[in-house]
Structure 1
Amino acid sequence: MSLDTSLADRVGTIALNRPEQLNALTVELVRSLGEAAASLVGEGARALVLTGRGTAFCAGADLSLVDRALAGDPHTALTPLVEGLHGTVKRLRQLPVPLVAAVEGPAVGAGLGLALAADLRVLGRSARLVPGYTAIGASPDGGVSYFLTRMLGTARAASLLLRNRPVGAEAAVALGLAEEAVADGAATAAAQELAATLTGTAPLALVRIRELLDRATTLGLAEQLDLEQRRVTELWDTHDFTEGVRSFLERRPADFLGE
């Protein structure tokens, strides 16, 4: 199988499982990734972790597709991969639960896009975030230009993409691209621990927060304030808001149901 999935204590884990190919992406793999994420949420996951088996998080497009592109029509060889990848990135961003990426080794090109599509990232100390595009005469895909610009601003995103600058784990933390850098081999466990802290948070509040953050750089202040008011007033009518306030006043843990 090119994907491994598991669910424990409401944390779903998805592992890219092509270690001999450095978890390089195929059309089947990117489509299966989106389906696996949705399936875990349907089974009760309140947070997800995305990781890769072996020495790499993801090396980008599978070399067999690149070989086909060079031998024939690159559009025929690569368009299905890009379309599948972009559909999966959209699907991941639309999930009703937070996603944490656990990155060991390189995350290159489209693999970097998958890592950046997560809400939070934990990196092993030898991890590297590598754009890779200019080295092969290409431009970004997988949302890399979108995510880097939103996270770093245009100037820093331009520096990374135009100069094809790899970002190590410590630098990623300093830039705000990662929550923490941990010992090599410990990223998945650390990401699962981080995800577990999110499972006790009100699910509907997390959905609204993710939406507000996604819209914050495209709306003006007045529009953002209006959206904030609509979303918070919607939450006032939920069980979880009542439970959250009561648990705070009663000084006890909240029992959030997502309703």
Structure 2
Amino acid sequence: MYLSTQNRKWLLGIALCLGASVLAAPASAQEDEDKAVKGGKWPQASLRAEAAAEVPHDTVKITLATEISDASQAAVAKALSKTLDSVMGDAKGDPKIKVSSGNYRLWPMSNEKGKISNWRGRGEIFLESTDFAAASELAGKLSDRMPIDNLAFSVSQQARAKQEQALMTQAVKAFTDRAQALTDALGFAHYTIRNVDLGGAGAQPYQPAGRMMAMAADKASVPLEGGTEMVTVSIRGSIFLHSTQK
């Protein structure tokens, strides 16, 4: 089909207009939202809320330690290994108590002339359990070879996770209540959440080490009583404030 020069120019103009229409297609919802925020249509506000609970310690970790001194490094290493193997063998067997090796170290001691006079060695074994009575009794039995050096009470991962799950609901409610209160106080119609970050934290466990040291004297098991720990769930986020109803 033959097209005159005038018709070709007319068709080319239509094609250019269609191309411009495609390039000028409506912006995405995110682009519209970004433009609205930059233009001040939807003000933003940052908020923080948290929920906390005092949780009793349900786990104890007892550190057994021994130090040995001798003239040679080999003699110290041999005696230390013998003690650790013996205690480790006697400690295992109770499924309620987790037994693991701790720090192991050998180092030289020098005299006033700077020469090595003897060697010292130190080894540790950890007893960890949610059964305080069983852990106390076992530590008392082993204290003649490896005295109790330290202990720490804590909240187990299972108990912490369970508590944080319950606190999350409370933290979310506190966040939404605060967001609604801010919206009402500033005279806006409603709000929408832009982003939310969830976090959690716990305090350091209480460590009454001195009380445990008394167990080493007579190998008697002493009732253990842990303290408490604050488990916290916090929510940080930002909201859009809308001046019109949904």
With normalisation by structure 2, the TM-score equals 0.19
Larger radius of gyration: 2
Which has more strand, going by share of residues?
2
Which has more helix, going by share of residues?
1
With normalisation by structure 1, the TM-score equals 0.19
